[in-house]
Structure 1
Amino acid sequence: MELDGRVVVVTGGTRGVGAGIARSFLAAGADVIVCARRPPDQEVAADGRKAAFTPVDLRDPAAVHTFFDTVAHRHGRLDCLVNNAGGTPYRLLGEGEGEAQRHARVVELNLLAPMTASLTAYPWLRQARGSVVMIGSVSGTRPSPGTAAYGAAKAGLENLARSMAVEWAPDVRVNSLVLGMVRTELAHLHYGDETGIASVGATVPLGRLAEPADVGEAAVFLASDRAAYISGASLLVHGGGERPAFLDAATVNKEK
């Protein structure tokens, strides 16, 4: 298996996209450690192999340092860090009291926490000539009403990855996966029932939402030797993107 003997950390790897990433690395032969504030509802496993879980709040620098020290001393190495942890509630700018602080916490989780994790993991990644995979979002490349702080953080994360790729070369490769819509166990909260999920999926050129495994396979590729000359790159995992709205408007006008 292509990642036999490699050690991989997936932040936020207990459910959804993160669990899908962790399962793909397990299937590729890696030893996987997932971390989150709370333990998973069920063990993250694939092909008879299980990911180890460690609780950690990534917004606590001291806890992050302790976590990576423990991983390095327990496993003797660290080959890849996947900065997946993140997310945001839907919140329009300027609504309610104390909103600035709430938006700041979104930026902290989605930008500052991955930076802290990467900087802390760097000495061991450098020793292994490993890599970092940032999990970005198309929200960082287009307007993101209702999740503006999240979009801004993801835009910053992609830029951070490109700068890290230059500063840390040639010892550590750094890349980003820029995700579109993904079908997870929480998809119904965003897209409704199965009919709604299918309707939303039909708007994607490939005809469906991504599965967590789709993201996981892309992450494994970027961490593998097959991507040995890829650094500072942003790989779009969005099924072809979104059909431009003006094309539908133009079609309607032609029919009239």
Structure 2
Amino acid sequence: MRGKVVLVTGGARGVGDGIVSTFLAAGAELEICGRSEPAELRDTGGRRPRFTRADVRDAAQVATWIAAAADRHGRIDVVVNNAGGAPFADFSAASPRFHDKVASLNLMAAVYVCHAAYPYLRESGSGSVVNITSISARRPSPGTAVYGAAKAAVESLTGSLAVEWAPDVRVNAVSCGLVATPGSMDHYGDEEQYAKVAATIPRGVLATPEEIGAACLMLASPLAGHITGAVLNVDGGGEWPAFLQHTPNA
């Protein structure tokens, strides 16, 4: 990826940090954005991403960030729509404003980034978009219902843009299962509870952010030159089917 310019939304922490470190190690130039500047930026072999403060829910801020990045480098080759997430909340108890914010961050942010980046990706001659989605897009997501619905919409967006933008720009998605980030232990509970959560995954462990980054790197690279419109599952085999708990000798 030497000489390639890669943009990652929400690239300063968690899954985004793993994606950034993977692309940096592959030689790419990284531009990242977020609502608040991190205390420190990822340093891989003495190379760091450039951070810009921007709210991806704001189309104007997104367009300004992307235009400035293109002006600095003269090109944009890859965009990774990573920013997203949602706190747990009972659907009926949460406010319409809360649901609107979740939908905006997890769907409309990707729409704004793709829209603003397209002219530069097309001009690069080998542009690639990788959208980060979730296992929640294709199974019930109680407590994060709007998040799951938004991620399902992003998978639909991925397929539509892959067709609309072919052959100039490839558009794919990485569907993440549970990922071990610095906040995972707090989210899932103590060490014992964390182990129980990991046991629901066939591989028995949560993915690392770098494993998500490796999937993004593959999809963005020439190795995936004929892959577009795909959703790649990076989930350790998904989740054990619940009926197996009640099946003898399973």
Shorter-chain-normalised TM-score: which range? over 0.9
Question: What's the offset of the Cα at 1:202?
Answer: 2.2
Q: Name the structure 2 match of 1:222.
A: 219
* RMSD between aligned residues: 1.3
> Residue 247 of structure 2: SS of its match in structure 1?
helix
**Does residue 112 of structure 2 align to residue 116 of structure 1?**
yes
The within-5 A match list for 1:172-191 is 172-191=169-188
Which residue does 2:195 correspond to in 1? 198
Q: 3-state DSSP class of the match of 1:49? A: coil
Letter in 1 for 2:128: S
Mapping for residues 224-239 of structure 1, pairs under 5 Å: 224-239=221-236
Q: Of residues 97, 100, 103 in structure 2, which corresponds to 1:104?
A: 100
1:184 Cα deviation after fit: 0.3
- In 1, distance between residues paired with 2:136 and 2:73? 36
Where 1:50 maps in the other structure, the secondary structure is: coil
Q: Give the partner amino acid of 2:110.
A: P
**Counterpart residue type for residue 123 of structure 1:** P
Which SS does the other structure have where 1:82 is aligned? strand
Letter in 1 for 2:112: T
Q: Distance in 1 between matches of 2:43 and 2:35?
A: 19
- 2:247 is aligned with 1:250: yes
Structure 2 CA distance, aligned partners of 1:35 and 1:205? 34
What is the DSSP-based 3-state SS (H/G/I as helix, E as strand, rest coil) of the residue aligned with 2:244? helix
Following TM superposition, by how much is the alpha carbon of 1:229 offset from its aligned partner in structure 2, in angstroms?
0.4
| Distance in 2, Cα, partners of 1:8 & 1:193 | 36
Deviation of 1:101 (Å): 2.0
Amino acid at match of 1:142: R
Read off the aligned partner of 2:76 and give its amino acid letter. L
Unaligned runs of 5+ in 1: none
Gaps of 5+ in 2: none
Please, what TM-score do these two structures have when normalized by structure 2? Answer: 0.97
Match of 2:135 in 1: 138
1:193 deviates by 2.5
Return 142-151 or 36-45, whichever deviates more: 36-45
SS at match of 1:146: coil
Distance, in Å, in 1 between the alignment partners of 2:52 and 2:23 is 17
Q: Which residue of 1 aligns with 2:53?
A: 55
- Between the aligned partners of 2:54 and 2:5, the Cα distance in structure 1 is 18
Alpha-carbon shift at residue 189 of structure 1 (Å)? 2.2
Residues 37-95 of structure 1: CA distance to partner in whole angstroms, max 9, x if unpaired? 01112211222211111110111111111111100000000000000001101111111
TM-score (norm 1): 0.95
Q: CA deviation at 1:170?
A: 0.3
Q: Where does residue 15 of structure 1 map in the other structure? A: 13
1:70 equivalenced with 2:68 (yes/no): yes
The match for 2:27 is 29
Partner secondary structure for residue 207 of structure 1:
coil
Identity between Structure 1 and Structure 2 (%): 51
1:154 equivalent in structure 2: 151
Which structure 1 residue ranges, 4+ long, deviate > 3 Å from structure 2? none
Q: Larger deviation: 186-195 or 203-212?
A: 186-195
Question: Could you tell me how far apart the structure 2 residues matched to 1:194 and 1:40 are?
Answer: 27
2:198 counterpart of 1:208: no
